[in-house]
Chains A and B, each alone.
Chain A
Amino acid sequence: MSDTILNIENITKSFPRVIANKKVTFDIKKNAVHAILGENGAGKSTLVKILYGLLEPDEGNIKLNNKDFKVNSPAEARKQGIGMVFQHFSLFDSLSVKENLILGIDEKMSYSDLEDKLENISSRYNLPLDLDAPITALSAGEKQRVEIVRILLQDPQILIMDEPTSVLTPQEVESLFVTLNALVKEGRTILYITHKLEEVISICDTVTIMRSGEIIDTSSTSNQTAKTLATKMLGQKLDDLKTNYGHIKDEVNFEVKNISCDFNDPFLTDLKNISFQVRVGEIYGIAGVAGNGQSELMDILTGENINIKSGSITFDSKKIEKYGPQKRRDLSISFVPENRLGHSAVPELSLSENILLSQFPKNNFIKNGIILKNNVDDFANNVINEFKVITPGNDAKASSLSGGNLQKYVIGREISSKPNILIISHPTWGIDAGAEHSIRESLIELSQNGTSIIVISQDLDELIEITHKISVIYDGKLSKPFKTSEVEIEKLGLLMGGKNE
Chain B
Amino acid sequence: MNSLFPSIVSRSQSSGLMNFFVPIISIVLTLITGSIIFILLGFDPVYALYTFFISPISSTYGISELFVKATPLALIAIGLSYCFKNNIYNIGAEGQLTMGAIFGGGIGILFHDTNAFWLLPLMIFAGAIGGALWGLIPAILKTKFNTNEILTSLMLVYVALFILDYLVVGPWKDPFGYSFPKSRPFSESGRMPLLFDGLRVHFGLIITLFLIFVSWFIFSKTIFGFQLKVSGYSPKAARYAGFNQTTLVFFAFAICGAFAGIAGLAEVSGPIGLLYRDISPNYGFTAIIVAFLGRLHPIGIIFASLVIALTYLGAEDAQLFLQIPSAVGFIFQGLVLFYLLGAELLINYKLTYKKLL
Contact = CB atoms under 8 A, between A and B. Distances in A.
Contact of B241 (A358, A366, A397): A358
9 contacts: A329-B242, A346-B230, A347-B233, A356-B241, A357-B240, A370-B221, A371-B226, A399-B13, A400-B13
A369 B223 contact: yes
A337 interface: yes
Given A327-B242, A335-B240, 11 more contacts: A325-B241, A343-B236, A345-B237, A346-B230, A356-B223, A356-B241, A357-B230, A358-B241, A366-B223, A369-B223, A370-B223
B237 A371 contact: no
Interface in A309-334: 324-327, 329
A106 interface: no
B114 interface: no
Contacts of B222: 369-371
B239 A304 contact: yes
Contacts of A358: 240-241
Contact of A325 (B224, B234, B242): B242
Contacts of B239: 304, 325
Nearest to B229: A349
A371 B241 contact: no
A343 B240 contact: yes
A40 B45 CA distance: 64
Nearest to A348: B233
Given A349-B230, A366-B223, A371-B226, A342 B242 contact: no
Given A324-B242, A397-B13, A399-B13, A357 B224 contact: no
A353 B238 CA distance: 13
Q: Is the interface of B mostly helix, strand, loop or mixed?
A: helix
B243 to A, nearest CB: 8
Interface of A: 302-304, 324-327, 329, 335, 337, 339, 342-349, 353, 356-359, 366, 369-371, 373, 397, 399-400
B3 interface: no
Nearest to A397: B13
A324 B237 CA distance: 14
Given A342-B234, A346-B233, A348-B233, A371 B221 contact: yes
A346 B234 CA distance: 7
Contacts of A304: 239-240
A326 B237 contact: no
A304 B14 CA distance: 29
Nearest to B226: A356
Nearest to B243: A326
Given A302-B240, A357-B240, A371 B223 contact: yes
Nearest to A337: B240
Residue from the set B229, B237, B239 with the largest chain A CB neighbour count within 10 Å? B237
Contacts of B237: 342-346, 357
A366 B224 CA distance: 11
Contacts of B240: 302, 304, 325, 335, 337, 343-344, 357-358
Nearest to B235: A342
A357 B239 CA distance: 10
Contacts of A326: 241-243
Contacts, number: 66
Interface string B11-25: 001100000000000
Contacts of A345: 237
A348 B229 CA distance: 10
Nearest to B227: A356
Nearest to A327: B242
B224 A369 contact: yes
Nearest to A325: B242
Nearest to A326: B242
A21 B229 CA distance: 41
Interface string B194-231: 00000000000000000000000000011110100110
A58 to B, nearest CB: 21
Contacts of A302: 240
Nearest to B220: A371
B13 A357 contact: no
B24 to A, nearest CB: 22
A326 B91 CA distance: 32
A353 B230 CA distance: 10
A363 B67 CA distance: 45
Nearest to B16: A397
Contacts of A371: 221-223, 226
A359 B233 CA distance: 19
B234 A343 contact: yes
A303 B223 contact: no
Nearest to B241: A357
A335 B229 CA distance: 21
A7 B13 CA distance: 42
The 8 closest A-B pairs by CB, nearest first: A326-B242, A325-B242, A357-B241, A342-B234, A343-B236, A346-B237, A346-B233, A348-B233
Interface string B82-106: 0000000000000000000000000
Contacts of B230: 346, 349, 357
Contacts of A356: 223, 226, 241
A339 B240 CA distance: 11
Interface string B237-257: 101111110000000000000
A370 B221 CA distance: 6
Contacts of A353: 226
B270 to A, nearest CB: 32
A371 B226 CA distance: 9
Contact of A342 (B223, B236, B243, B244): B236
A329 B244 CA distance: 15
B143 to A, nearest CB: 16
A348 B221 contact: no
A356 B224 CA distance: 12
B191 to A, nearest CB: 35
A366 B243 CA distance: 14
A342 to B, nearest CB: 4
Nearest to A365: B223
A369 B14 CA distance: 29
Quick one: which of B233, B236, B243 has the most chain A CB within 10 A? B236
A353 B233 CA distance: 13
B214 to A, nearest CB: 13
A368 to B, nearest CB: 9
A176 B294 CA distance: 56
Given A369-B224, A371-B221, A349 B241 contact: no
Contacts of B229: 349
Contacts of B242: 303, 324-327, 329
A399 B11 CA distance: 12
Interface in B122-158: none
A356 B242 CA distance: 11
B275 to A, nearest CB: 37
A353 B221 CA distance: 11
Contacts of A399: 13
* A324, A326, A345, A371 — most chain B CB neighbours (10 Å): A371
The CB with the most chain A CB atoms within 10 A, among B224, B233, B240, B241, is that of B240
